[in-house]
Homo-oligomer: A and B are copies of this chain.
Amino acid sequence: MGDDCALLACQPDQVLAATIDTLVSGVHFFPQIDPVSLGHRALAVALSDLAAMAADPAWVLLALTLPEVDVAWLQDFACGFLALTERYCVDLVGGNLTRGPLTITVQALGWVPEQQALKRSAAKPGDWVCVSGFLGEAGLGLKMLLGEVDWRDERAIKHFLRPQPQVEFGLALRGLAHACIDVSDGLAQDLGHVLVASQVGASIDWEALPLSQAVRRYIAETGDWHLPLSAGDDYKLCFTVPPQHVAQLEQRLQRLGLAWHRIGEIEENSGLRLRKDGRIISVPPIGYRHF
């Protein structure tokens, strides 16, 4: 710190995975969000990108644009941010503080052996389509914070405010999974990116989607069964794994105490299909639109 750049030592036989993410006040978060959650979230989103490539996080750089210096706010933001750097043994090695509308850009760097990096383009027909945890829960938490739902579930709200990047899960996929992406904009859209990049299609089973009690209750009450397909912000991993690697993956994840769920399979025919109530529905790439 203090110099114009941070100096970082290389890992032999690995490649550097680099990602950059921006959160804008009023677009990606409520202006009134508590700064501890904001600090957590800003880093979680960046680490999630590393997790999706099966990279091991090493360093982060933080560019913070603030309308004014508010020491108490900054301390809380740092608290949320640094707790997560500690949790994942990541070093904050550089930063930039500027004046302007509240915007947070996080740049994260991690390591992965080149052959084991998970790419969107690597899905193959016959692969299982899997996810690393509940879908739609953060989206439900957001609806609660927006007052669109008249009951509260603290777990769902916490999933929205403090998403847990699936770093250990991503590392466990090395050498076994084919393609991977993190679910930031909604399953249909994010899995859609994998299908397009891999030039394949997929069928998923509605009944197989892992849903929390709260999401089941929400769907039962509203009939809005799209939520687990279209809601973003879960930051779970959606990955594809060939059937011959399933047993080994199951063993590895069980040892780590990590749950996972098969939700469908990769097919030759392009497009995403949903099996629900005995019918097959074609699913457009619904989800969060950045513009």
Binding site for B on A (CB under 8 A): 2-12, 14-28, 48-50, 52-53, 55, 59, 61-63, 65, 68-69, 93-101, 103, 105, 107, 109-110, 112, 114, 117, 119-121, 181-182, 193, 197, 290-291
Give the distance to chain B from A15, nearest Cβ to Cβ, in Å. 5
Residues of B within 8 A of A27 (CB): 98-100
Whether A24 pairs with B100 at a CB distance below 8 angstroms is yes
For this complex, 11 residue pairs linking A to B, each with C-beta atoms less than 8 Å apart, are: A2-B197, A5-B55, A10-B11, A10-B12, A10-B16, A16-B109, A18-B59, A20-B61, A20-B105, A21-B63, A27-B100
Whether B7 pairs with A10 at a CB distance below 8 angstroms is no
Most buried by B among A5, A62, A99: A5
Give the distance to chain B from A184, nearest Cβ to Cβ, in Å. 9
Please measure, in the bound complex, the distance between the C-alpha atom of A107 and the C-alpha atom of B69, giving whole angstroms. Answer: 23
Knowing A103-B101, A105-B105, the reply to whether A112 touches B7 (Cβ < 8 A) is yes
Please measure, in the bound complex, the distance between the C-alpha atom of A64 and the C-alpha atom of B134, giving whole angstroms. Answer: 31
Contact of A17 among B7, B101, B117 (CB under 8 A): B7
Please measure, in the bound complex, the distance between the C-alpha atom of A8 and the C-alpha atom of B50, giving whole angstroms. Answer: 13
Give the distance to chain B from A77, nearest Cβ to Cβ, in Å. 16
Most buried by B among A8, A19, A181: A19
Whether A7 pairs with B53 at a CB distance below 8 angstroms is yes
Give the distance to chain B from A131, nearest Cβ to Cβ, in Å. 16
Whether A20 pairs with B107 at a CB distance below 8 angstroms is yes
Residues of B within 8 A of A99 (CB): 24, 27, 290-291
Contact of A18 among B5, B12, B17, B101 (CB under 8 A): B5
Give the distance to chain B from A31, nearest Cβ to Cβ, in Å. 12
Which 7 pairs across A and B sit closest by C-beta, in order of nearness? Answer: A24-B100, A5-B17, A4-B49, A105-B105, A101-B101, A10-B10, A4-B52
Whether B21 pairs with A17 at a CB distance below 8 angstroms is no
Whether B291 pairs with A22 at a CB distance below 8 angstroms is no
Residues of B within 8 A of A52 (CB): 3-5
Residues of B within 8 A of A26 (CB): 100
Most buried by B among A9, A26, A99, A107: A107
Give the distance to chain B from A11, nearest Cβ to Cβ, in Å. 7
Whether A100 pairs with B98 at a CB distance below 8 angstroms is no
Whether A65 pairs with B291 at a CB distance below 8 angstroms is no
Most buried by B among A11, A23, A96, A109: A96
Whether B24 pairs with A18 at a CB distance below 8 angstroms is no
